[in-house]
Amino acid sequence: MPKPTFINLTKAKREHFLAVALEEFAMNDYDHASITHIVKVLGIAKGSVYQYFENKKDLYGYLLEQATQRRLEYVKNLLRTPPQNIYDLFASLFVQTIQFDIENPLYSRLLANANNEKFSKDLGNAMIEQRKKSMDFMRGLLEREVLMGGIRFDLNIDLAGYLLAQINTNILDFLVIQNKIEGDTLLNPKKLKKAITDADIQSTARQIADFMRIGIKA
């Protein structure tokens, strides 16, 4: 977590530092993200980073926490007054996730990287824990619905929670492929909003929810 030296920086300096660090970790996996490159872009001494954070892992963890909290803001109101139908709830959840991903492409990429991170000697099991948190969130929604009789009692809740977490984390990838989006559009919220329409978002979210409801039987 940030040290007092970082907290005492001006708001503008803190935001600039975090923006550069976020881009580095969003565009690279953990092992290839470079503190050296971060300080080069910022034009500061490498030692400054360790006055702000304990180490690379500490900085990464803080950015990941910020990304997670920001994503939760998008679904907070939805979870406070959820739709009665579990499939409508998931459709709405997917819509909120896509909107977050479009409006916050670097945070979105950071979270996707974390979810897909290979084992790192530095991180240890941290990434397994990150995936487990996402799975447990979905699992909680499903468990509640099982108790209410909305979905079948013999469902493998762990497997379903894992699959839904993976879909939710990577859902924007489908729209990017579907709309043949590439280049700097991927990191530009304004361009992404133009490339991916609200109708695309609603339709994709609903189709995934329908897939959950009826499966793929003929």
Report pTM: 0.86
Q: How many domains does the chain have?
A: 1
Handedness of CA 26, 75, 85, 202 (dihedral sign): negative
Q: Which domain does 84 fall in, by range?
A: 4-214
pLDDT, tens digit (0-9, with 9 covering 90-100), for 28-74: 999 999 999 999 999 999 999 999 999 999 999 999 999 999 998 88
Reply yes or no on whether the pLDDT at 181 is more than 90: yes
Q: Is 80 exposed, middle or buried (0-12, 13-18, 19+ CB in 10 A)?
A: exposed
pLDDT band at 146 (very low <50, low <70, confident <90, very high): confident
Contact 218, 105 (CB under 8 A): no
The torsion of the CA quartet 140, 141, 144, 149, rounded to 10 degrees, works out to: -140
Which CATH number fits the domain that encloses residue 209?
A: 1.10.357.10
pLDDT band at 116 (very low <50, low <70, confident <90, very high): confident
Reply yes or no on whether the pLDDT at 134 is more than 90: no
Q: What pLDDT shows up at residue 216?
A: 53
- Per the structure block, which two tokens stand in for 131? 């995936």
